[in-house]
Structure 1
Amino acid sequence: MSVLRTQLTGVARRPARLLLTGLAVLVVSFVVFATVLAQRITERNLLDGLSGTPAAVDLVVRDGTVTTGELDTIKKIDGVAEAAGQVGAGAEVGREFLQIDGDSGTGPLAAATLASGRYPAKPGEIAVTPRTVDRLGLKVGTDVRATIGNKIVPLKVVGTVTADGDHGYQAYAPQPLVSALTGGDVLDEIDLRLRPGADASAVRSRVEAAVAAGTRVRSGDDVRHEEAEQQASQLDSVFAVIAMFVAVAVVAAGLVATSTFRIVFAQRLKQLALLRAVGAGRRAITGSLAAEGALTGLATGVAGVLLALGAGHLVPVVVRAYGVNLASPGFPIPAALGVVALAVLITTIAVLAPAASASRVSPLEALRSSSVTGARSDIGKARATLGILLVLGAGLAAAYVAMNVPGRDPENYNALPFLLATVVSGALAFFALIALGPVLIRPVLAVLGRPFRISPVGRLAAGGVGGAPRRAAAVSVVVALGVTLIAGALVGGASIRVLADRNEAKYAPADYEVTPIDDKPVPAALVEQLKSRPQLAHVTPYRRLDVKIGETELNANDLAMTTLPELSKVDVTAGSIADLAPGQMIISGFTSDNTGLKLGDQTELTHGKSRVRLRVTAVLPDTAPLGSAMVLDPADLTRLGAPATYSGVLADAATTGEKARTAGRTAIDQVQNAAGGGWKIDVLADQRDQIDGLITILLVIALGLVSLTVLVAVVGVGTTTALSVVERVREAGLLRAVGLSRGGLRTMLTAESALYGVIGAGLGLVLGIPYAWLAVKALGVNAPLTLPIGQLAVVFVVLVGLTALAGVWPSRRAAKVSPVVALATE
């Protein structure tokens, strides 16, 4: 107990050192508990705002056969103030889908609110949302013919309404009018609002007696909660992903804590030697140091939780000033205790190896020890063997994935085992880096540290990092972990984005596509009218034709491959799409597989009695544009018997932006209506925007989560630099005594911090890029390896800058110590 009391007394005398030692754990405790609070805030807000049932609904009748007759009966029940039937009708207007929902438009039970015009009151009248006006061109006063079921009914737009979730295909009308459109009396549900003071249980019993068996009558609160839970169920998976990244940050904090404990204990070798000399055993010293580690975790865990709790309660107050209402996270005591326990666990595990190592030093060795830790670069035979085995394991797992990567058209491919194998390989590689790190530091420093060796101060900084390879390896490995994850996210995201762009270029090569309804072809006169409209650009007609190569039936088109800008994104396995000319053809990868045709081969195509002989001028990786098997020159398709009319027309908006896109859509509508109608208009640009937006959001989220590990790494660099300053006071004093200025000393120590970032970022890129590529291939998608060089360079520079910044304060502190005082320090 005397040894333990001695150690704890030393900790009490220097509380700042305790917090500095566990600073990374404090940060990760803050992150973990802040994540818990963020999830609580999000869930509470979603449960309050995601229900589709209005707040005024007291009872809901659903889950059975609910009819308009029962609605009339329920309206007469004593205690019912209002009852509204919910029904919907799916309509087709000019090949576009339109959802018509029954809604009163006024009163507490209404989901839609009138914005302009008037609310429907007569059969066939509808009110539409603003986005529906833009997308479908259904302005107030428009008369259209819609197909509902097997009937064609006239509809008239009499107003616009606002409603939650305006997707661009919604219309509203009173429930009786919508029921008349469907021709039935079945409702989806009935919403009830009770009179003030009515007995809800008694009214519920009366309603249950009035409806058919099997129909459920539930309270509005229960229904709203269930709907909100369904909407918010995706949060579980989202926060599960966040938890995975937080777990990586926890591991990083553990590595940083282990490194800092080694430095702190090494600085106290003389104290430990004196304890050994007066009879303290190794077990007692190990136990006392482990207790110090646990106390560090307790203090930093509590501090992190309190900071997160304060931030969690401050955020709703701040955003409320900007008109945004957020729920309070409350006080989740069990979660707070769990985070503190996690912090204690991290530091306890992190302190064990350094404590055991420190306790093994003999009194004589400790008293003669240098004050600089981590100078040894050897790692011992056992650690070297372990590192080599980890490298071999990582290589075997990676080879297993690489050899089983699916081809162009995988069938029944399950990506999960190969993704797991990729993760296992990456984890083994990272642990190999931990094991072999001290051996790798000097060779890596010799390559990446060359720019620093230009100046004398830079050479001193490189010597300081290379002189303590164990310490440099411990810090750089954490930086490497963060950079590996960032590089993986950037490379994977860029590769998937290029794949998505290429696929969209084939299936959605323009902003709009005009296609026939009921096989009505597109005449050349319509194409010329579209080309004359200033709101449109790159108007490109195409024809389709079913042809044969031998007995293989294939679909061909004559799309001009150089007219539409989006087609420039189409990838080519062999040849060039710009070489397409009469007598040549572009084939898909699937066509190449099925027919055996390669670049330069010639073959005969037939259609009925018509025949042409063509040469392959380009082979695509998978499918050809518009989902066809091949692209031919228009002259060759005509020789095969294609008609003069077109199968479809592609066009772009003249300029970018939502207004230009709407103007282009309107221009196409006007042209096709003037020509008698009969053609369908698809806005392909919306599909491209949706996919691009999804990829962007996922990438931003991934980078945001990865930044947690980077934050811990930067804290680790700052902590290590600060502790090394204390450790190397005599060295700093000697440098000052031989003429190094304060500014030079500051620059040297800051450069050392930057070198930690250089080494870690370099190792991270070496690991992150190949594993990102392997993960993309393991997904089973035919994505190309895409290196966002600019983004990776920015990551490298920013990480080096952050690690350099982390060393500014310790370097300034070291420069303030006078040479005389520094040389007198033991």
Structure 2
Amino acid sequence: MLRLTLAQMRRSLGRLASGGIAIAIGTAFVAATLLAGGVMTRTSYDSVAATLADADLLVEGDLTSDDLDALRGVPGVDAVQPDVHGWLEVRAGGGKRASLLALPRASDPRLDPLELVDGRLPERPGEIGLPAAAAERIGVSPGDEVVTSRVRWVPSEPGESPGPSSAPSPGSERNADPSEPAAQGSYESEDYPLEVTGLLDDPRGAYLAMGGAAVLPLEDVQAVSGAGSLDELQPTGALLALTPGTSTARTTTLIDEVLDDVTVLTPDEAAVRALGRVTQGTDVFTGLVLGFASIALVVAALVIANTFQVLVAQRTRTLALLRCVGALRRQVRRSVLVEAAILGSVASLVGLVTGTVLAQVALLVLQRVDLDVPLPGTVTLTPWVVLVPLAVGTSVTVLAALLPARAATRVAPVAALRPAELAEVGGRGGRARLVLSLLLTAGGFVALAGGVGLGMLANPMVGLALGVLGGATSFVGILLGAVFWVPRVVGLVGRTVAGNGPTARLATANTLRNPRRTAATSTALLIGVTLVALMSTGAASARVTLDRELDERYPVDVQVTAFDGGTDERPAVTGGAVSTLAAADGVAGTATLASTLAALERPGGGEEWLTDVYAVTPEVVRSLMRDGDVLANRLGPGTVVLGEEAAQGLGIADGDVVDVAARASWEEAALSPPGGRELGLRAAVVDMGSESAYVTPETLDDLSSEAPVTRVWVRLDDVTDAGTVVPALSDALADESVEVNGSALERAGNQRLIDTLLAIVVGLLGVAVLIALVGVANTLSLSVLERRRESATLRAIGLSRRRLRWMLAIEGALIAGVGAALGVGLGVLYGWAGSATLLGAMGDVVLSVTWWHLVLVLVVALAAGMLASVVPGRAAARTSPVAALGVD
């Protein structure tokens, strides 16, 4: 039988090729999806964890110098980099300025997220490495000198009036702890020259939102921050580089034994947590990967099963002939299954290679696009990526061949050799099929709804699993019952074109004459179009929803803040800077904010929190913020608006009365008793990440009648242009003593990440469209070839070749159009359900549809239906009626 099976495969290469193409494309889609999932995961992790460089572990928690020494003593730890920073303003000889984050030089290259592009890194106090963009802006290069301000604590001489008690460094927002011992003295600022030793690049965008980062020796970071020691910089964590081969799990255990109250994370774990903060605790990107992989498996299984069932069903007469010459049922069944296994394994291997090549080509194309997102250079082949497509393609092909083979062997040989009767759907088997279809469809939609509810209210991953199961079950039920409803729908649509002549009426009648054939042909396209519509709708909904989430998380595009150089006077933004911002290209609007330093006291007394209190009106908030309703709706007379984190740290609940006292300077904040006005304001706690507090201008006047303008809010025309507009603003303000930062750059980075992930989805859509086209072409071609005798009969009774071709084209367009329209409807439904499941935990989900995608799919489906019917129809039309009638 094996030789006979191989001989049959050689004789049926044409038919097997069409089935093999469907299998190969289905497995290619599975492989491409799994590879794309790996790229999506790696890209999202690397993007949000850019500041971690190539660290092996991240230790989070308040650390001291002794804690850092203890970390260095842990076996397997090569280097420890404390998480500390400062701020500095560098001035060039021509008066150009740049405000930058000040970072200490990394103790190990693996812990440095910045790359040296020119010169060398600073090695001793008095040296600095500048971002290449900032150096170009102020006109310096390696070897030049810049000047910054160094803040020093100068103790009072004996006999001088008492000074402030251990005031925090100017420009920082720290809590004043009255329990600290008093130290007499004051802060003094002095010029501090620095030699530029090198230029730096930030390839991962780690410090985009801060306007760039400079690198200095640790001693200089302390000096520009006014800190006398590393402990005064208050490290909030540390990056660890381990000896190659060291177990991260073992090192984590050792660190937990050495230090208390710290959290040890791998970079991937830190990235997952960071993504959770962006998406309100929902791991959306992992969910997208799992969702696409699950959809790929289900759709590939359906496409392969549908195509192979048609292929095997066409050979029922051949299998029956084998029974007549003595083959046993089990031999025939085994022959079909061996043939399916060979075809499935070979086609799956081709699909695996094709999917891998397509994924790598797509990755190379994305790398040539300026996305500013850290894409890997090559796809990563894992055992899952290799084994899953091969297993799916082979096993599904065998399962798809099992039912037709079983049906063929159960028919008596003589009965099977008779002409096939029209499919009966009203008998016992039809009723059982109808009942099973209804049960699967109804049960699947119930499970799908349950997955949506579970994803929105509880666990998105569990909801996703239940939703995929429900969606797959309902879709199988719809396909199982397609033989009942697809021909009727096609018939209803066909009646609208039947009046165009006998050819159209004949095409409509053909679609109703064999319901199983019509259903099989239409569902081939239904599967592919449903997938395309599902992914397009899901991607559009995810884009709009994540955009709204970014609007809430990053409400202000750009903030221009007067730089505090350590003087007692509060700095102010000049009118020239405000005018420059308002006239800049790419700026949609600006607003000035006056502020005062204030102390907020915990309810019931206790520790004070020092912060800047800004005055703003609800109208300004709504016009300048991306999502200003949360803040604008709570602003009012006698109210101070606080972010949730700040309120929780102070133990303030919404509606509490908080004592707010104005302070003229950080030094005055340490005076006992302090000066300044004090008001009792009602706290309004909102979901806002800002560490500042907001009041109305009238309330600020009551606190401080001479509060200067210290900040300007800037709204951009298009936030995705932040990478161009924000550096241009920095260039325009190079003569001003201001810091240009804000959320636009970070928001744009996240937007680019989303765009990149959705670009990967678009690539998957392209593969899905190809699957749909091949599926309908295969099924329609096989259907037309199967009816060559019918076509010959029509030719014999007078139907012209042109009308025969036109009849087949109309029939193909009817079946394909109905399948595509139904697929669009199902795809939109499934796409919305998947979006609600994955994104519901983040908040309100915006369900969106990219209609032009779906219209394009319908047009392509109609064209594919006509072409798939016309090509084999021309072959049938060219064959003489006598020869065609003689075909067995």
Equivalent-residue separation in structure 1 for 2:460 and 2:41 (angstroms): 31
1:170 aligned to which of 192, 199, 213: 213
1:354-405: CA deviations, max 9, x gaps? 111122333454343238x767587622222222222332343344456668
Question: What RMSD over aligned residues (CA atoms) do the two structures have, in Å?
Answer: 6.2
Distance 1:701 1:12, change over 3 A: same
| Paired letter, 2:12 | R
Cα drift, residue 728 of structure 1: 0.5
Partner of 1:290: 337
1:491-570 map, 5 Å: 491-505=537-551, 508-509=554-555, 511-515=557-561, 520=570, 525=575, 529-530=579-580, 533-535=583-585, 536-541=587-592, 557-560=616-619, 564=623
Q: Structure 1 residue 776: deviation in Å?
A: 3.2
- Point out where structure 1 has 5 or more consecutive residues left out of the alignment: 55-62, 69-82, 193-199, 201-213, 216-225, 596-606, 612-621
Q: Distance in 2 between matches of 1:785 and 1:44?
A: 27
Letter in 2 for 1:124: G
Deviation of 1:557 (Å) = 4.5
Residue in 2 that maps onto 1:255: 302
Cα 1:725–1:13 change in 2 (3 A) is: same
Q: Partner of 2:194 in structure 1?
A: 156
Kept in 1, the 8 Å contact 2:557–2:744? The answer is yes
1:236-635 to 2 correspondence within 5 Å?
Answer: 245=292, 248-277=295-324, 280-301=327-348, 303-304=350-351, 342-370=392-420, 380-400=430-450, 413-446=458-491, 453=498, 455-456=500-501, 457-505=503-551, 508-509=554-555, 511-515=557-561, 520=570, 525=575, 529-530=579-580, 533-535=583-585, 536-541=587-592, 557-560=616-619, 564=623
Question: Could you tell me whether the CA contact under 8 Å between 1:441 and 1:466 is conserved in 2?
Answer: no
Match of 1:78 in 2: none
> How much does 1:696 deviate?
1.9
Distance in 1, Cα, partners of 2:367 & 2:747: 36
The amino acid that maps onto 1:445 is: V
Contact map agreement 1:252 1:709 (CA 8 A) in 2: no
**Contact preservation (8 Å) 1:98, 1:170:** yes
Task: Quote how far apart the aligned CAs of 1:351 are.
Answer: 0.7
- 1:650 aligned onto 2:650: no
Q: 1:143 to 1:732 in 2, by over 3 A?
A: farther
2: distance between equivalents of 1:231 and 1:506?
Answer: 20
Match of residue 101 from structure 1: 105
Determine helix, strand or coil for the equivalent of 1:814: helix
Choose the corresponding residue for 2:14, options 16, 27, 30: 16
Q: Which amino acid counterpart does residue 663 of structure 1 have in structure 2? A: A
Report 1:723-738 matches (<5 A). 723-737=782-796
- Residue 33 of structure 1: CA displacement? 6.3
Contact 1:261 1:354 in 2 (8 A): no
SS across alignment from 2:619: coil
Aligned residues: 711
Q: Letter of the aligned partner of 2:533 in structure 1? A: A
Inter-CA distance 358–33: structure 2 relative to 1 (3 Å threshold): same
- In structure 1, distance between residues paired with 2:113 and 2:615: 52
Q: Report the secondary structure of 2:87's partner residue.
A: strand
User: Which residue of the partner structure matches residue 661 of structure 1?
Assistant: 726
Pair 737,93 (structure 1): closer, same or farther in 2 beyond 3 Å: farther
Deviation track 1:126-145 (CA, whole Å, cap 9, x = no partner) reads 12122455799998654223
Counterpart residue identity of residue 712, structure 2 = V
User: Does structure 1 conserve the Cα–Cα contact (< 8 Å) formed by 2:558 and 2:744?
Assistant: yes
Matched, 1:145 2:204: no
Q: 1:596-622 CA deviation, whole Å, 9 max, x = no partner?
A: xxxxxxxxxxx97999xxxxxxxxxx9
State the TM-score, normalized to the length of structure 1: 0.67
Task: Report Cα offsets for 1:680-702 as digits up to 9, x if no partner.
Answer: 54333213322322222222223
Q: Report the secondary structure of 2:759's partner residue.
A: helix
- What are the superposed Cα offsets for residues 744-784 of structure 1, whole Å, 9 maximum, x if unpaired? 44444445444444333322332232333333333322123
Shift of 1:150: 5.7
1:254, CA displacement in angstroms?
3.7
1:810 to 824, 847, 872: 872
Change (3 A) 1:386 1:12: same
Report the alpha carbon displacement of residue 722 of structure 1 after superposing the two structures with TM. Answer: 2.2
Larger deviation, residues 803-812 vs 133-142: 133-142
How far apart, in 2, do the equivalents of 1:694 and 1:173 lie?
30
> Judging changes above 3 Å, is the alpha-carbon distance between structure 1 residues 755 and 629 closer, same or farther for their aligned structure 2 residues?
farther
AA at the equivalent of 2:560 = V
Structure 1's 689 and 191: CA in aligned 2 closer, same or farther, altered over 3 A? closer
Q: Is the 1:114–1:162 contact (alpha carbons within 8 Å) kept by the matching residues of 2?
A: yes
State whether structure 2 residue 118 is matched by structure 1 residue 115: yes
Determine if contact 1:742/1:815 at 8 Å carries over to the other structure: yes
- Once the two structures are TM-superposed, the CA of residue 448 in structure 1 deviates from its matched residue by 5.5
3-state SS of 2:199 partner: strand
**Deviations 1:460-503 (CA, angstroms, capped at 9, x unpaired):** 44444443332343344453343334333333333343334445
- Greater alpha carbon shift after TM alignment, 460-469 vs 423-432: 460-469
Alpha-carbon distance in structure 1 between the residues aligned to 2:692 and 2:855: 40
Give the letter for the 1:161 counterpart: L
Q: Matched residue of 1:92: which SS? A: strand
Contact 1:557 1:628 in 2 (8 A): no
**C-alpha separation in 1, matches of 2:553 and 2:27:** 48
1:531-569 per-residue CA deviation (whole Å, 9 max, x = no partner) reads 6644555222357999xxxx9xx99951436984875x7
Shift of 1:644: 7.9
The alpha carbon displacement at 1:301 in A equals: 4.0
Q: 1:735 to 1:555 in 2, by over 3 A?
A: farther
Change (3 A) 1:294 1:229: same
The secondary structure found in structure 2 opposite 1:370 is coil
Q: 1:713 to 1:624 in 2, by over 3 A?
A: same
Q: How many Å separate the matches in 2 of 1:394 and 1:375?
A: 26
Question: Which runs of no fewer than 5 residues in structure 2 stay unpaired?
Answer: 56-66, 73-77, 90-98, 153-167, 171-188, 232-237, 245-253, 256-265, 275-282, 370-374, 604-612, 645-653, 656-677
Partner of 2:126: 124
Note if contact 2:517-2:783 (Cα within 8 Å) is conserved in structure 1: no
C-alpha separation between the residues in 2 aligned to 1:288 and 1:627?
Answer: 73
Determine whether 1:716 maps to 2:775: yes
The answer to whether the Cα contact below 8 Å between 1:512 and 1:684 also exists between their aligned partners in 2 is yes
Letter aligned with residue 213 of structure 2:
Q
Secondary structure of 2:444's aligned partner: helix
2:86 is the alignment partner of 1:91: yes
Q: Which stretch of the first structure deviates more once superposed, 508-517 or 131-140?
A: 131-140
Alpha-carbon distance in 1 for matches of 2:871, 2:414: 35
Distance 1:498 1:451 in 2: 38
- Following the alignment from structure 1 to structure 2, what is the Cα–Cα distance between the partners of residues 516 and 176? 25
Label 1:476 to 1:184 Cα distance change in 2 as closer, same or farther (>3 A): farther
CA separation in 2, counterparts of 1:795 and 1:177? 61
In structure 2, the CA distance between the partners of 1:821 and 1:246, relative to structure 1 (3 Å rule), is farther
* CA separation of 1:291 and 1:392: change in aligned 2, threshold 3 A: same
Aligned CA distance change for structure 1 residues 749 and 86 (closer, same or farther; 3 Å): same
Corresponding position of 1:616: none
8 Å CA contact 1:101, 1:171 repeated in 2:
no
Displacement of 1:446 in angstroms is 4.3
**How far 1:804 moved relative to its partner?**
4.7
Cα gap change, 1:173 to 1:741, in 2 (>3 Å): farther
Report if the CA contact (8 A) 2:784-2:869 is conserved: no
